[in-house]
């Protein structure tokens, strides 16, 4: 598998800490190979029409290219976990994509997903509660879902495209207090996806123990590079693996 190198200019030590798995070059540049980027990717298929054959293809590609996980619908988690047999973390979504299920339903979904073999959970907040300033209820819901994860990774989707800057900052504070491992920009099913500015905002305001996942609209390695430069630790996308598959086969990608 051929890899191209991406040269990323680091502007100070604060940004330098966002780069892991990168080889230093001439003191002021970092070299990031495609494989380094793919290690940060949750290879994703969440379409309503997804079949097991398509899910299996996603799992095979995720294992082939060494992605961080494969993110798939909850209905396929048990089958997927058995199929990968420990070779790849299986991720699924809770309260997806609208987030307005009750806390009890989200907790139940999470327990079921974990019992079926999910190792990572991406939950959607109730955006209406955020608009209503019901901050305590949102924090409690995240805490309860996190408990149901039983030590597995929880990523909290806040749907940045629907929020004001103040609301995004508030969610950084809530996610940090609730103890989740990640704050995530988007479902990819709303009016917009991740933006570099939002990733940088979340990285600036979230606690040191919380990582940032950018998702939605990441369609190239250049997009991915920019998201990582702004502070993303994980990327939710299907496009990068597809680009690699087409590159390896000598085909273009439209």
Question: Where in the sequence numbering do the catalytic residues fall?
Answer: 122, 184, 213
* Contact by Cβ (8 Å): 217, 190: no
Closest CA to 138 of 158, 114, 161: 158
* Angle value at C-alpha 186, between 199 and 144, nearest 5 degrees: 105
Q: What share of residues in the chain are helix, strand, coil (percent, to 5)?
A: 45, 20, 35
Residue 107 vs residues 12, 95, 104, 145, 154: alpha-carbon distances, Å: 42, 9, 5, 5, 12
- What span, in angstroms and rounded, lies between the C-alpha atoms of 169 and 190? 20
How many Cα atoms occupy the beta-carbon half-sphere of 137 within 13 Å? 15
Catalogue the long-range contacts made by 22-30 (C-beta closer than 8 Å, 24 or more residues apart): none
Omega before 97 cis (within 30°)? yes
């Amino acid at each position: 598998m051929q890899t191209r190198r991406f040269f990323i200019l680091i502007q100070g030590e604060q940004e330098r800490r966002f780069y892991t798995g990168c080889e230093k070059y001439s003191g002021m540049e970092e070299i990031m190979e495609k494989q380094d980027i793919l290690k940060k990717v949750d290879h994703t298929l969440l379409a309503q029409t997804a079949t097991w054959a398509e899910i299996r293809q996603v799992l095979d590609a995720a294992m082939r290219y060494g992605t961080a996980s494969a993110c798939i619908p909850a209905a396929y988690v048990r089958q997927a976990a058995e199929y990968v047999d420990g070779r790849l973390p299986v991720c699924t979504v809770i309260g997806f994509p609208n987030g307005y299920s009750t806390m009890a339903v989200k907790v139940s979904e999470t327990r079921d997903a974990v019992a079926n073999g999910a190792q990572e959970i991406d939950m959607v907040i109730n955006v209406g509660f955020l608009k209503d300033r019901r901050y305590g209820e949102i924090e409690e819901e995240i805490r309860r879902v996190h408990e149901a994860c039983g030590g597995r990774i929880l990523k909290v989707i806040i749907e940045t495209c629907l929020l004001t800057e103040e609301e995004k900052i508030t969610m950084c504070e809530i996610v940090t207090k609730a103890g989740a491992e990640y704050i995530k920009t988007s479902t990819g099913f709303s009016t917009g996806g991740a933006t570099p500015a939002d990733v940088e905002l979340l990285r600036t305001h979230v606690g040191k123990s919380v990582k940032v996942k950018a998702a939605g609209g990441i369609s190239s390695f250049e997009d991915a590079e920019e998201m990582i430069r702004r502070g993303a630790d994980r990327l939710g996308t299907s496009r990068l693996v597809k680009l690699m598959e087409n590159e390896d086969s000598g085909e273009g990608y439209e």
